[in-house]
A and B are shown apart, each in its own frame.
Chain A
């Protein structure tokens, strides 16, 4: 099969169209005075970022992590804890005061989660298949139970964020402004991950997924490649978590639960595994089902299940494959 540039362009056009649609919908909703719907679209965008993170590990690197909620939740808790200490004017630890500045919070989120992903990756990437899934799940569950049993930050009840954290002097309480922050980060991470995937590193990563024997045979050790991808992946998902906490002004152990890990996987599967915009499409479907079918019945996940079943059975490449055709490699 010879790759045709025509299909590549087609996917690019579809990608641009979808992103414009998302942005326009939010702006329209805002000017129609529908703040609720703006937040809904922000929710889609934040989930999509979490999915873009996991997609690097799962879709491109073939690492089925069932523990990405750990990074998502820790990102959320960093935003929540920092904000609580800032508002109480107390120290987080060792004389370190809280902050309500998003940039600082994001920086801390990146550092903490990179270190955590390094540790988890060093251990879990020695295994593959079901063992890798179970080890990543085990780490996430440990952190989940830790959060539940830590009363100073709400334990099981979670932690309220009474005021959204700030980005410079932007009024983050404004739904549209907050959406635009999330949307800019979405575009930024799409761009970053597109660059990474098409780079030499990305080429090695994709071969690590396709055939690790081939990769080692040409002289590239798959382990460090996968480890670095796992860390990138974790950091992006964690930043989504920090945004999610600010969006809801609330963080709870639910963000760390294995259901959350599963949901991030679902975003990717619905949209298309290893497709740049797969998580965006998947998160959109997920949130729409959650909101509109969830409005009629609390058993909306039954429909999500049916949808997922249909995708996996009839459109293995996810919705992206249906609209943009099969994934192409040069």
Chain B
């Protein structure tokens, strides 16, 4: 998964559903560890702003 920082509202909803602990919110930036990410798309579903992309 990738995050589109232009669209992101840095709310952390995606972090809360990531079982792989692959997403972190660092100040106002969502950081995704692509090694840990298993492309389950949970983050995509809860994002209020469509900021997560494959």
Are A and B part of the same complex?
no
What residues of chain B have their CB less than 8 Å away from a CB belonging to chain A?
A: none
What residues of chain A have their CB less than 8 Å away from a CB belonging to chain B?
A: none
